[in-house]
Structure 1
């Protein structure tokens, strides 16, 4: 390893975590990963990383611990549990939680970490599986200035937009805003496509024109094939986006603001999950909107 390389424990090797851990190996770090599913462990091993049979084994000698897990119960169990990160990490370890969870959970982890001499950042990401594979994620970071400075070089191996947005929990609030925008834009793109096709037009051509103008967005650029081909393999699952919209609504209550459109978007995502689309990509909001209009997917 080079003098700037570090020993990194990576907990959570799913469709995003595994490629992210691989990028850290490629950057010259010694990466030891842990996951309860074998596929991610195999992917990390193939990339040149090491695997660990437990959280304790992964974090024991780590300088940095990164967690990338589905929701706050998993993060809290892995970090705060009896046999978790805080019980086994050495003093002054930097814990970077890149999961998308409730701001209050991130604040609790930061507080309990500080009590044990562990530095903590919340650093959720945007960009989905493609962004993880391409190392082009947008990373929004909450925590102290000094801890952010310590993490910045590592995060630069994973993303292209890395911004320190405030104290503990701030990264999660920004991520909630991100997920609100993404879900809303997906829903409006789906309605636009339905309007085009129901008017007898070529939907893909129409969406390509929209993508080149003011209505264009990263969401549309990333999802245009999903929309046009009705190809809804994840990507980013509706189940997870439903969880994220719950975080949006909770954050709004904490902030004391009413977000009427957010409520409608949250209900649309929840309806898609109830409709049996939870395991599909969030672009499958199109399938729900077509069904509401009595139109079978093409």
Structure 2
């Protein structure tokens, strides 16, 4: 068995986060499955997960953590670190707004970025100081195929994932001297409740001004639901959890990006851009690393 790690998973009340927390515990790791409102909205989810861990003799604890609340993040990370060092952070918490881009209000867009982008900033800033002191650690961030492509009706979602990918990839380069890797998982469509909970735009006046296009949101979400109902193995969310377990147990260095599920051209995009990015880094490395430059 691989060396057991202490792992913090965000957004573990359901979907990929829940599956990942269970899969990691079953693989022998000590898991902190975090979720917000653990004594309210997610009380039942937390109780069921705790019962599963107890009944199956798994090292898993549920903890309160709201990625949109800096105090919540810092307090939970501090409490975990006082018990055992966090080896791996899995940034899974996310939301998938779907609808006409212009019809999302500024407040809505800020709210979704607060989860998908700034939530990652908060959790990374909370765990990284101790990881850097130990010169070891692993960050895994759940992006999407939408983190590589722009798609109609997913403008806000794509924008948040593009932003988080830039942030997380940059961390990968900056943390290299500390023996820490920051990695990105890019799943295609998988059968979770993201489709059922996708927020719609609130500016109905703008949405209705698009005429027949306003129905595009429902048609797209319906298409995804129909696809998931076919039980295609490629859309099974357990695939993502299994890939995360495998990635954690792999040897370094690991690939920055890992695609899961139906390709959708993501692998080609990654293969094409990787050498361009590498050339850029080779040129900048002597500057940002303070290395000698040949005359």
Q: Name the TM-score class by shorter chain.
A: 0.3 to 0.5
TM-score, normalised via structure 1 length: 0.35
Q: Name the structure, 1 or 2, with higher relative contact order (CA <8 Å, separation 6+).
A: 2
TM-score, normalised via structure 2 length: 0.36
